[in-house]
Every structure is written in structure tokens, then in C-alpha cells.
Chains A and B, each alone.
Chain A
Amino acid sequence: MKGLLGFIFGLGLSLILVSVLGENPIHILQIFYNSVFATQYDLATTLFTMTSLIFTGLSVAVAFHAGLFNIGAEGQLLMGSLGMAISGLLLPNLILPYSFLWALVLGLCLGGFWGFIPGYLKSRWGGHEVIVTMMLNFIAAGIVNYFVIDVFQNREVQTPETIPLTKEFLLSSFTHGIFPRTPVNASFLFAVLFCFLFYVLIYHTRWGFQLRSVGKNPEASKFYGVPYQKIQIQAFVLAGFLAAFVGVNEVLGFSGRLRLGFSSDLGFLGVAVAMMASGHPIGILASSFLFAFLLKGSLDLDLETQTITKDFARVIQALVLLSVIGFTQFPFKLPGFKSGK
């Protein structure tokens, strides 16, 4: 509720700013509204970005609950996407459903492995996960670059991308798109489902309890006999799996190949998405939508107005985000609401 107030506050603030610049605030609101709801395509694009953000947000959140910072979602999602994109090129003759499963397994394994490394280094030798994951992002980018350009480059086009996968490997062989001819695909449903599963896992299972206790106080949980090192590794592997699901959305769900630079810092935005929701999965649903909306909305502002450029649209993004975070984190009570949070 406070988040919504913050959203309105930030939006109001930016509307005042744009009216100083000479734009009609009502027109701006209209653009924002149209940006998401005008056509099926607009809604679909927003949901597509939102899907990826849910996955990276959850990835960061699971580490967050274990008291760890996963800055490496970007690298994990790249490795996952790489695995999925090359699966069909390594074994092109597989048939359904093994083809799709193989793509999924290879992608998740690579993503999970990329999560395992910082988890292992952390729990075994105390290597700080922030540094390790950050470095691993660059290594992942390098590996992906090598495979895309030097090994599996699609020679038909100039853009750095892999050879397209055949139909058998794609998500669309099971489900038809939610909306035809738009990027959004069945992985959106996965993402929403994952949020609920995540909630159950973190708050209503033994493992989730152990995870949170490790996050709150590793020393105490150690004395209680929680295998905290194991939990840390498991948390990071799970984070890698979740980040790799971005590949399901992008590679298996939408484009059918790995295009260099497809991720517009999705992994880093995932940190913001998770932090805004304090790691709560249902909050992540909301915050990922907010981020997706702002990403697309600011683009449309650039498109529809003369004065608002890409850079100014960023200012609006920042204003809205700051006020949402400010309102959610600042300890005050709303009149009429009893909830302690």
C-alpha cells in the first residue's frame, strides 16, 4: 500500500517536472497508460520484460534470504541462455519432448553451475560473493561472446547471434503464445507460478526456514545444527537456476537463438526488483511490473513527445523508483492500516 502511495508521489513529482518543461501532464499520463494498455502488443511487451525481471528478481531474492548478495544474475542468465541456444545445435536430431527437455536441462545446468561457483567459494573459503559474482559476470560475457561469434555465429546475418534453433526445441511447440505475434510467451505463466512456489518454499518449508535462519544469523543457525554452508551453496545454485529461466523466456520462448546484448542489464535490475520488494515473492510480482512499465513507458515518452528525451525519461524512472523505495522503507504508519509492515 505504501508502495502505491510512493508510486503516485513519484509520478506526481515527475509530472510537475514535465509541466515545467512545457508538456501537458495529462498527455504524459495518457502516454504512460497507453504504453501498457493501448494494444495487445504493448501489454505483451511489458509482460515480456516483466517475465525476465521476475526470474532475476527471484534469483536475487533467494540469495538475499540466505544473507547473500547475488550480483551475478546477469552472468547466470547469460550462461543459461547460452546453454539453451546451443543445445539444439549440439544435438539437432532430438525429437519432442526430449529436445525441449534437453535444452532446458543444459541451460539450467550451466546457469546453476554459474551460481554454484560463488556459493562454493563463499562457503568453503569465504570468498566474498559480491566480488566473485561480479567477476563471473564478465567471464560469462566473454564465454558467451566466444561461442556466439566464433563457434555458432549465424552467417546469414551480420548481427552477432547464434544459428536459430529448430521448432522442436522451442516452448511454442507445446503452447501457443499468449498473444499471437508478440514476444510474451508461456514463461510468463511459469514466472507467476514460481512466485507462489517461491513463497511456499521460503516461508512454509523446513528448507526455507533454514535458509532464512542462515540469512538472519549464520552463527546461531550453526549452533542449532543447520548445515549453513550447504544451505549457502544450495541457495546460490537455486539462484542460478532461476536466473537461467530468463533464457526460457528469451531464447526458447521468443527469439529461438541467443542474440548478443539481448539482456538490457536484466540481472542488475533484478537486484533493484528484489530489494524493492524486500525479497518477498508477491512483492516481486508488483515491483517487476513497475520496472517493466517504467522501462517501456519512458521509451514511449521519448517517442511521443518532443521535449522528453531518453535521458530525461531516465530521470522520471529514477524519481518514481526512489519515491517508491523511500515510501516502502521509511518507518511510518498509514492511518487506518493495522499491518505492522
Chain B
Amino acid sequence: MRQLILFLKKLKPFSVLIGLVMAISASLASTNIGLILDKGGKDDKSFNSNAFQGISKAQKELGISFKFVEATDLNSLENLHRSFAKKDFDLIIGIGFVQADAIKKVAADFPQKKWILVDGEVNLPNVRSLVFEDHEGSFLVGALAAMKSKSTIIGFIGAMDVPLIRRFHMGFEAGVKNVNPKAKVLVNFLGVTQESWNNPPKAKEQALSQYNVGAEIIFAAAGASGTGVFDAAEEKKKLAIGVDSNQNYLKPGFILTSMLKRVDVAVFEAAREAKNGHFVPGLGRFGLKDHGIDYSMDQFNEKLVSTEYRKRLEELKQKIIRGEIVVPDYYKIPKKKNI
């Protein structure tokens, strides 16, 4: 072991040279952005894919360069942010609320660097937090599900039982009840461990059992597990609702719509601002008003959603924007007394 270390020590001058070359080439390049994805990774076809699309688009259209990594676990996040902070990045973007802790620590240590946190809040002068009003979008797709469904049973499948997913559920149920107060929402969570974010087989089982007891439409707020719900929808010839990205194309004809959470837009805009040397710390909210949250319509689902439904949906949307309908928000429900 010791000899190995000594050997490596001898190699150090080379690495300094390599590092120097890399540093120079990096400084010659344009705006450089570091992107840290959540555990789901860039191919989850949902939340993280969306962020990755945003940065890829920025690379093509704005000519920025970027480097992305995927987190392996909770305690690795701080290490990733710290390594990025030490390097020459104009902006570091963290995707997912779990990164709030790490950013809070590292951003305080590197006040001259800039961070953007998507889906969480950190109050520091060099961090911009972008949060989404998930419950508003969930409300809309819930309302659509209730309009479309002939039965009064509507399903909800959430990934891990955490506050974020409960927020989706709360908005969704409110939307269903708004259109059809008699409707019943079946709720299943995929589990209590991290695996539930990426467990399509289990999602499929739960979806099948929800369809079997009479659900016609299931909202899959389940990250990469959602594909299992879509499979079940195809098998049973029923409908499902996608989440975060526009997932309509995954099973055309079986996905009623997708609740869009435009992380890609948020990331793209962040990249544009970084390129223009513009940075505003603080909180940015994305909701129905600015299309940060929306539902998707495209060639794959236009036959499923009639113009009448669309009209009613747009009305509901306007009401939410004007504040006539207040969608319950799990984050803001009266605090249970903490012991």
C-alpha cells in the first residue's frame, strides 16, 4: 500500500500539468455550468430527464458548456457540490429538494460562487431557489381525470411517501372532488425506501390492482416508476396520467395527459441568465401563471381530451390564477403540533 502511495506521489507533477491544461481550456470556453442530478439519473424519463433536456438545449442554442453528475446517495451530495465549487463553474445547478442541505453548507463556504436549487429553498445571497406549485398542476389533471372518467373511482400512485408526493396527492384529490364531489380517490404509495422512485414492476402491480377495483384513470406521480403504471394502462386498456416531463409519447392513446413541471424551462432560463452574467438570488416561483406548471396537449393525446374538456380546464386554470380557487398545499397545511 505504502509503495503504491509513493509511486502515486511521484506522478503528481504530471497531474498538475494535466490539471493546468484543463484549467486553461476551461477558462477559454464560454459559460460553464455544473449540473447535479438527483439519484434517478438523467434517464428517468421524468424529473431529472427534464432538467437534462433543459441544459442540453442551452448547450445547443446558447453555446454554453456543462458537466453533469448523478448523485449516488444523500451523503455524496455535499462532496459533489464542494468539488464543483472548487472548479471553474459560472453556475452550479442542483436538481431536487434533497440537495438543499448540501447547497446550504457549501454555498456558505464559497460566497463568490453561484448556485441554483430547483424544487427547494435555501436562503443565501448566492443561491437562487426555484420552486414549483406542484399542487396546482395536480389539481388540473385531477379535474380532467374526473371529467373523463365514467366510474367514480380514480387512482393515484405516488413514489415514496414523502411530503413532496403528498403535495401532489392533495392537489390531485382536490381537483377530482372539484369536478365530481362523489368521486373516490384510491391512493397507493410505492414504498418507504429510496427504491420506490425507480420500481416500475411494483408500480405496475399496484396500478393493475387499482384498475381491477374499478379505477379508470391513474395519476402516476412516481418518477421513473411511472412507466410501470403506463404498462398496466396499456394492458388493461385504461388511462394513466404522466408527471413532470411530457410523457404522452411513451404509450400513445393510453396516457390522458401529463402534468408538466417545466424544470427544463427553469434550467434553460438559468443558463441564459448565467450567460448574460445576470444572477438574482432569492426565491422564484413557477406556477400555472407563467406556464412553469401546466398539463400537456400534443398529437398523442388530442383524441383523448375533447375541446369541451379543454375549455373547462382552461376556465379552472384561470380561476386558480385569479385566486378564486385555492388549491390546498401540503406544505402550508396547519402545522401539527411538534412534540
A49 to B75, CA, bound (A): 9
| Given A49-B75, A303-B80, residue A30 in contact with residue B100 (CB < 8 A) | no
A285-310 interface bits toward B, Cβ cutoff 8 Å, 1 = contact, 0 = none: 00000000001101110110010011
User: When chains A and B are docked, how far (Å) is the Cα of A33 from the Cα of B5?
Assistant: 8
Query: Is there an interface contact between B75 and A300, defined as CB atoms closer than 8 Å?
Result: no
- CA of A290 to CA of B32 in the docked complex: distance in angstroms? 34
Q: Are B338 and A152 in contact (CB under 8 A)?
A: yes
Check: B306 CB closer than 8 A to any chain A CB.
no
A159 and B161 form a contact (CB under 8 A): no
The answer on a CB contact under 8 Å between A4 and B1 is: yes
Contacts A303-B80, A310-B69; is A149 near B163 (CB within 8 Å)?
yes
A302 to B80, CA, bound (A): 10
Q: In the complex, are the beta carbons of A145 and B80 less than 8 A apart? A: no
Stretch at the interface among B11-19, B220-228, B253-261, B295-303: B11-19
Min Cβ gap B309→A in Å is: 32
Q: What residue of chain A has the Cβ atom nearest to residue B338's Cβ?
A: A163
B74 touching A264, Cβ below 8 Å = yes
**A residues less than 8 Å from B163 (CB atoms):** 149, 153, 158, 160
CB-defined contacts of B41 to chain A, threshold 8 Å: 310
A300: contacting residue among B1, B83, B194, CB under 8 A = B83
Contact partner of B11 among A30, A159, A310, CB < 8 A? Answer: A30
CB-nearest residue of chain A to B104 = A157
Question: Is A26 within 8 A of B11, CB to CB?
Answer: yes
Known: A4-B1, A260-B162, A299-B80. A155 touches B338 (CB 8 A): yes
B73 nearest CB across to chain A (Å): 3
- Residues of A within 8 Å of B331, CB to CB, are 158
Residues on the B chain within 8 Å of A299, using CB: 69, 72, 76, 79-80
| Candidate in A49, A144, A160, A309 with the most chain B CB atoms within 10 angstroms | A160
Q: CB of A262 within 8 A of chain B?
A: yes
**Assuming the A-B contacts A157-B100, A158-B100, A159-B98, are A302 and B70 also in contact, with contact meaning beta carbons closer than 8 angstroms in the complex?**
yes
Decide yes or no: A259 and B74 within 8 Å by CB, A149-B161, A160-B162 being known contacts: yes
The list of the 9 closest CB pairs from A to B, nearest first, reads A264-B73, A145-B192, A30-B15, A33-B8, A158-B97, A141-B192, A160-B162, A310-B70, A261-B194
B339, A27: Cβ atoms under 8 Å? Answer: no
How many chain A residues touch B (Cβ–Cβ < 8 Å)? 49
CB of A158 within 8 A of CB of B121, answer: yes
For residue B272, CB closer than 8 A to chain A, the reply is no
How far does the Cβ of B261 sit from chain A's closest Cβ, in whole Å? 15
CA distance A96 to B1 in the complex (A): 43
Q: Which residues of B sit under 8 angstroms from A303, Cβ to Cβ?
A: 67, 69, 80, 83-84
Is B79 within 8 A of A45, CB to CB? yes
B193 proximal to A (CB < 8 A): yes
Q: Scoring A residues 1 to 42 as 1 if CB is less than 8 Å from chain B, else 0, what string do you get?
A: 000100010000000000000001011011001100100011
**Residues of chain B in range 58-96 having any CB-CB distance to chain A below 8 Å:** 67, 69-70, 72-76, 78-80, 82-84
Contact status of A151 and B161, CB under 8 A, knowing A145-B192, A262-B75, A296-B79: no
Nearest B residue to A163 via CB reads B338
Write out the residue numbers on chain A whose beta carbons fall within 8 Å of the beta carbon of B70: 302, 309-310
Does B101 lie at the interface of the complex (its beta carbon under 8 Å from any beta carbon of A)? yes
Chain B residues contacting A298 (CB-CB under 8 Å) are: 72
Q: How many chain-B residues does the 8 Å CB contact rule pick out?
A: 44
**A89 and B192 contact, CB distance less than 8 A:** no
Report Cα–Cα, A41/B105, bound state, in Å. Answer: 13
* A113 close to B (CB within 8 Å): no
Task: Say whether A159 contacts B97, CB under 8 Å.
Answer: yes
A64, CB-defined interface residue at 8 Å:
no
Inside 8 A of A260's CB, which chain B residues have their CB?
Answer: 162
Check if B278 is an interface residue, CB within 8 A of chain A: no
The distance from the CB of A166 to the nearest CB of chain B, in whole angstroms, is 14
Give the residues in chain B near A89, CB-CB below 8 Å: 338-339
B164 adjacent to A158 (CB under 8 Å): yes
Chain A: minimal CB distance from B162 (Å): 5
Q: What is the bound-complex CA distance between A310 and B80, given in angstroms?
A: 13
Q: Flag if B69 contacts A302 (CB, 8 Å).
A: yes
Quick one: which of A27, A41, A49, A309 contacts B15, CB cutoff 8 A? Answer: A27
Q: Is B335 an interface residue (CB 8 A)?
A: yes
Contact B18 A310, beta carbon cutoff 8 Å: no
Bound-state CA distance A41–B75 (Å) is: 13
Within 8 A of B (CB), among A216-267: 259-262, 264
Known A-B contacts: A30-B18, A157-B120, A298-B72. Give 12 more (CB < 8 A). Answer: A8-B4, A26-B11, A27-B18, A37-B5, A41-B82, A45-B75, A144-B192, A159-B100, A160-B162, A264-B73, A264-B75, A303-B80
Tell which of B11, B100, B339 touches A90, judged by Cβ atoms closer than 8 Å.
B339
The answer to whether the Cβ of A48 comes within 8 Å of any Cβ in the partner chain is yes
**Interchain Cβ contacts under 8 Å between A and B, 26 examples:** A30-B12, A30-B14, A33-B8, A41-B82, A45-B78, A45-B79, A89-B339, A138-B193, A141-B193, A149-B162, A155-B338, A157-B100, A158-B121, A158-B163, A159-B98, A160-B162, A259-B74, A261-B98, A262-B75, A264-B75, A264-B76, A295-B72, A299-B79, A302-B69, A303-B67, A303-B69
Of the residues B4, B162, B339, contact of A151 by C-beta under 8 Å: B339
Confirm or deny: A115 has a beta carbon within 8 angstroms of a beta carbon on chain B.
no
Q: B78 — which chain A residues lie within 8 A by C-beta?
A: 45, 183
Bound Cα distance A160, B101 (Å): 11
Residues of A within 8 A of B162 (CB): 149, 160, 260
A30 to B72, CA, bound (A): 21
Docked Cα-Cα span, A32 to B69, in Å, equals 17
A37 to B101, CA, bound (A): 25
